[in-house]
Amino acid sequence: MTPASAPAARTPLNRARVVAEALATADEAGLESLSMRSLADRLGVVPMALYKHVSNKEELLDAMVDAVIREIQPRDVADDWKEAAREQVMAARRTMLQHPWAWRAIETREAPSPAALDRMEAMIGTLRSGGLSAPLVHHVMHTLGSRLWGFSQEVFATGPQPTDPQAAQEAMEMMAARWPSVLESAMSTLHQQDTAVGPGCDDETEFTFALDLILDAAERLHTQGWTPGPRSDGATRVGAP
């Protein structure tokens, strides 16, 4: 059989195609439905073929995370360091919103990939060029934590509310009886008239609130000439306002 008559002489696999298809699978069906077997199926190939291009699933996840982090593209903004830092984090958030599975994958990586280090280099550079001292920058990076990567790590996402209105009513009454403050707090942002669409609080608002709070605090410490205190007192307290 000549190659021409062969069934559409398929383009050979390569690492880039494997990673790209893995990304597409995760985007479409979630990370939990990405298995070496399903990915091989999708590529029209036998599972073991993948191992000629990635050494194991962990390495595939490394590559996926690397690719996602590389997608983060901050816009050029004013030379104000705080605005620049904010934009970098918001750019990360834009990317993460497009890959809802990404934060789970990122969290399980053991070491930062080169792309991650590039991102950190840019962020740290921005803060340093704003005049913040190296130790302060170090602390601020830790304080940002996962927010640096655009996800706020809400520990208990408020799951889907019961659709049955009566069940919802009963759940509400139970909350009111046992956890009144939690309920009040949850409702407090719902009562604003110009709220975001849908129930629950506005993720965007919460994210930017926290981000701005941290950046503003950093700026304040910087202008006040903060220096790291000795550790013998047990903690480096920020100090009363």
| Distance of closest approach, residue 65 Cβ to DNA, in angstroms | 16
Q: Does 118 bind a copy of itself (CB under 8 A)?
A: yes
Which residues between 111 and 150 bind DNA (CB under 7 A)? Answer: none
| Contacts with DNA, 17-56, as mask; x by CB under 7 A | -----------------xxxxx------xxxxx-xxx--x
Residue 49 binding result from DNA, a copy of itself, none, given CB thresholds of 5 to 8 Å by partner type: DNA
Of these, 29, 100, 164, 179, which contacts a copy of itself (CB under 8 A)? 179
Residue 169 binding result from a copy of itself, DNA, none, given CB thresholds of 5 to 8 Å by partner type: none
Q: State the SS3 of the chain.
A: CCHHHCCCCCCCCCHHHHHHHHHHHHHHHCHHHCCHHHHHHHCCCCHHHHHHCCCCHHHHHHHHHHHHHHHCCCCCCCCCHHHHHHHHHHHHHHHHHHCCCHHHHHHCCCCCCHHHHHHHHHHHHHHHHCCCCHHHHHHHHHHHHHHHHCCCCCCCCCCCCCCCHHHHHHHHHHHHHHCHHHHHHHHHCCCCCCCCCCCCCCHHHHHHHHHHHHHHHHHHHHHCCCCCCCHHHCCCCCCCC
Q: Does 167 bind a copy of itself (CB under 8 A)?
A: no
By the criterion CB under 7 A, which residues form the site for DNA? 3, 12-14, 34-38, 45-49, 51-53, 56-58
